[in-house]
Chains A and B, each alone.
Chain A
Amino acid sequence: MKKRTLLSGLLLSTVLAVPVAAQDNMDKLTNMQKTGATFTHIEQEGDRAEALRDIIQHIDVPDGFEVSLYAVVPDARSMSMAPQGTVLFAGTRKDKVWSIIDRDRNRVADEVKDFAPSITFDIPNGPCFSPDGFLYIAERNRILVFPAAEFFFESPDIAVGTVVAQGELIPPEEESFNHSARVCDIGPDGMLYVSLGQPYNVQPAEKLEMYDELGIGGIIRMNTDGTGREVYTRGVRNSVGQDFSPETGELWWTDNQVDGMGDDIPPGELNRQTEAGQHFGFPWTNARVEIPDYKDVPRPEGVSFVEPQLELTAHAADLGMRFYHDESFPEKYHGGIFWAQHGSWNRTTPVGARVMFTALDPETGDAMGAEVFADGWLNEDTGEYRGRPMDIEFLPDGSMLVSDDFAGAIWRIAYNPAPAE
């Protein structure tokens, strides 16, 4: 035992001697100093782009729609379009956020480079803009804000502020790699809404109270300066897609459900939240399916669980979603919701890797039923993925962008009906 202590002591002293390359530049940037950081540019032509364009022939979309490659973007995850429509920002589950620029507005990106390379990011999955142009980036355990990011992204050293400091979004002991891809949105109330997946398949009962208090396995909201944090949504397993209805201001979100109960249960979920604090059932239930681990754990008193709007194909992994509030798609899509199904990881027969759509009932505002909008990223003969759609965003012309973290691409789907003969 003594030998081991000595040994690790020696090892540690050598660790400490390693020059620290990954120094966080937050202090320098806050003081408007230069850091010497440089950009990583992603080649937009060549073999990689050609290989991606070869995938397009496999993608099925409804009549009149057309698929193209918008940009080559490694690991592209959640997206946010800047208010002026010049730059698209995409997060990753690694250490980069990408700026994707289409200066000539020909609907193909001209330039893709990393955003704020001076900053050491940690799973910066979720970018989101406020209407006045502040870019928020939700990481695994920190939230940063970049004022006027759409204009300042050209500098590697960029003005930055801290909304939630490192280690204060969740307790550092609760950090994991899985279920740590945050998404964020600014609500109609001007508050910042952030999803916090719980890190387990099903969380152990002894974590319930702490998680409930912090909103882990939920969605939290706060003022954009980080004050006034509260749990807005309870009973979530791991939501990686949310958007506010432009009609009602209600928050809708997707959820990913428990593994290991079989290929066909529990269903995926699309949820509609009508008031603050609602509980959606997890870990007691996923939709109407009871979770066996929680059969004997008392449910929260005086709480009724909100059922999902739609029960979706089990394990298809419903992720990023957006309301369609543009004009260029046909009427049936106006006001409806598009979302990405990332595809299953351990279902016997793989399912997903497609873009889904639901219209909303004009009377009740409820979702009317899921239909496939675009698919073909899953090779059904071999069960292998060609790509895995992760999030949906829209260009100023109303055409759709689909991020794909497997192929490393952003696809564009536009409505271009053939002219009448």
Chain B
Amino acid sequence: MSAAAATRALPAEEILLASRAVADDLRQTDLSVPGIHCGGCIRRIEKGLGELPGVTHARVNLSTKRVSVVWRAGGGPPPLCETLSALGYEYHLQSFQEPAKDQTLSQLIRALAVAGFAAMNIMGLSVAIWSGAAGDTRDLFHGLSALIALPTLAYSGRVFFASAWSALKHRQTNMDVPISIGVLLAFGMSLYDTVHHATHAYFDASISLLFFLLIGRTLDHMMRERARNAVKGLGKLAAFGATVVTDDGTQIYTPVEDIAPGMTILLPAGGRVPVDAVVRDGRSDIDVSLATGESAPENVSAGRRLRAGTLNLTGPLTITAIAAAKDSFLAEMVRLMEAAEGGRSTYRRLADRAASLYAPVVHSAAFLSFVGWMIASGDVHQAVTVAVAVLIITCPCALGLAVPMVQVVAARRLFERGIMVKDGSAMERLTEIDTILFDKTGTLTMGRPVLQNPAAHDPASLSLAAAIAAHSNHPYSQALASAAPRAAIAFESVTEQAGLGLEAKTGDTVWRLGRGDWALRAGANAGDAGTVLSRDGQLVAAFTFDDAPRADAQAAMAALRDQSFALEMISGDRPGPVRRLAQTLGIAEAHATMLPAEKTAHIAALAAAGHKVLMVGDGLNDAPALVAAHVSMAPANAADIGRQAADFVFLHPSLQAVPSVITVARTAKMRIRQNFALAVLYNLIALPLAIAGLVTPLIAALAMSGSSILVVANALRPSGSPAHIRQPRAHAVDGDHLPAGVRAMG
């Protein structure tokens, strides 16, 4: 559904279920608020939420754009959602199913800090040796270096040793194997030399190698995990639970997983259908756009089947569950997703491909120089020293440090524009695409109808209709209410007939706004009028609605066409609206009434023809297609499952996210290529020196730091294109600060 659904006030029970206990009487709720972006926001939100009764503490995190609120459990959840809406911020509720802390990350950072400390101190001692310390002083400094290096290797080196060991156990080799061998050999050699009062020891090289590689490893991990968790935790559109009526008539709010077939559920207007169910009682309209892609609400009454995840709009319903959550529509989509041949499963990351080339080359270079020196000089010590120097000097800094560095910088740029990236390989895959498929409802459109052709209506009857429509939650009513100023008429009564329409009375006059067959007296109108306004059964006006395209969808499509991507639309909606939108946006190929399985089949057919496909979609029915595509994007208001399947999630309503992600990904790819080129160039110069036995510890340290600094600087270098300039932070021009309702209309 649209942003409007995301900002729909959540029932207190959902907030309670999504919160966690932090102390005896305190609970914490986390909300993701993508609109936060300056000090003013921090103060407004912390002040607004902090002053609510029951709230003990509200803290904004500007970096992750989240708010955590601690409140007293005694009085029930405070009105957090209403307050945020009133302040003009969109929000998504975070669930606490994920572990709060990332253990691996803190372990990596600790290892990094220890390695940094040791590298600094050993380097300090080494500078004294390089400056000419000799004899006992040199031996003392070497000994001290060994004392510092040993625990550091044991603590910080584990990261690499463990991974290298598990690779060797499976008779494979990865980048950590040459690293581990190089570091350990260098340490062992240096220890031997220290005992034998030699002039050179490589403790500094071995530890600073660890330090640089750990920086790369930590960045890589942050890149992969943080964004993924952010996407995972992003508010759930699916219900956390539902009100179940037991046999003795008591009502219990039950988590979705505990709902069994046969249970009777009370579904209020504005609530999501928790599991597949059948309507037992009541009439209403159901928004099925997330499940099928159909934009027009569906009219339901007793006996009608409902799919899990659809939204009840106008009237309360009593429904009977016919499937448990794990057997519902959602689970069917999961099966399809698993069946979809993931285009990405066969993709190998650039760094991995380089590493598989790199490890054998380095191993054989080191081994050959060892053999060569053995033959030439017959001196084992000399031969091992050269082999160690080769391993150290070819340290895979460009692979281990420069690739994640580029990707972290790119992810940061995207995050500033409200786009979250799940992993670095997604950006690499994105640079290969030539075809872009869009879902219609909720992706190209806002998933919310607007009045067609408002100028053609009589202003008086339109404003009258707007005044009546303001009393309803139905999407058509809301579209009417926002289409014209409301007439200043005091109705004696306005009642909503769920599934039919609204009835308003002034004196003896009865106004009806709703379905033609209900609002009009029999025979008064021959045709199918759709939604009408009637006065005592006589037609006053007929309205048609259509789904509004997202803001700047047209500009985004034009930008993508300019980059000569093939654009296609695949939708589950009827052919009429699909064709109309395709014409408006200038999309040549549009497919309507596509079932989820047909969408994946279409993508598979394109892939078989040699195309690389980017899929942009939001609905449950798009989730399998999002998995099947080479790379995929989803808006933040997509179904959870779609968001989890997508590689990129954009938080702002603008579709410009698509071209801007492509630009950033292309720049990132270019930087990675440049870094590889730098690394190769560096090795071409350094490797012959190492093989010739000319590399002293001083030269090794200089070469290693020099190449690392070079690739990092290249990654951080701001790019020239204007698309990368930070967004202006001024308030007046930024859509983030408009109240959600205002933006929704715009």
| A, B in one complex | no
B residues contacting A by CB (< 8 A) are none
